[in-house]
Amino acid sequence: MELSQDLSVQDLTGLARVNRTPQGLLINSDFKASVRLECVRCLDSFQQPLRAIFDELYAFNERTATESALILPDDGYIDLQPLVREYLLIEIPINPLCNEDCMGLCMICGANRNKVTCNHEEPPEGKAT
Ligand SMILES: [Zn+2]
Ligand SMILES: [Zn+2]
């Protein structure tokens, strides 16, 4: 799976609070969204909820900038979207699962075992319960 820059994040909601500090504007953000992913086990697509909670300082000038090096633009307008996107992308699992208990595909007939019972024997490793 490749995470392109065009990955579409759906249902983005959230809020950002702005606090003025001597160094700059401190943004407290809490955003939620969901993204369509493909389960690595059963290959079904599903909606994965994402949440991005972060504090970032937009400094008044370079001297007070934090590691993120965010500087308050001259026009004072902050576009949070790229930042929110970055934080949401971090939340996307590398090996997404539609469900922690996803049964995956049958090794023998390829059926989605979450949806159908094909009565094929499970591989021996799967029996250790
Ligand atoms: Zn699955
Ligand atoms: Zn089967």
35-59 pLDDT, tens digit each: 999 999 999 999 999 999 999 999 9
pLDDT of 2 reads: 42
Question: Could you tell me the residue ranges of all domains in the chain?
Answer: 9-98, 102-129
- Which residues on neighbouring strands pair with residue 28, listed in sequence order? 17, 55
**Which three-class secondary structure state does DSSP give residue 59?**
strand
What is the number of the ligand closest to the CA of 117?
Answer: 2
Whether the predicted pLDDT of 122 surpasses 90: no
DSSP code of 101? T
Residues 51/32, Cβ–Cβ less than 8 Å? yes
pLDDT confidence of residue 3: 45
Tell me the pTM: 0.73
The torsion angles phi and psi of 47, rounded to 5 degrees, stand at -90, 120
Beta bridge partners of 35: 9, 48
User: For ligand 2, a single-atom ion, which residues have Cβ within 5 Å?
Assistant: 106, 108-109, 111, 118, 120
Residues 58 and 40: beta-carbon distance below 8 Å: no
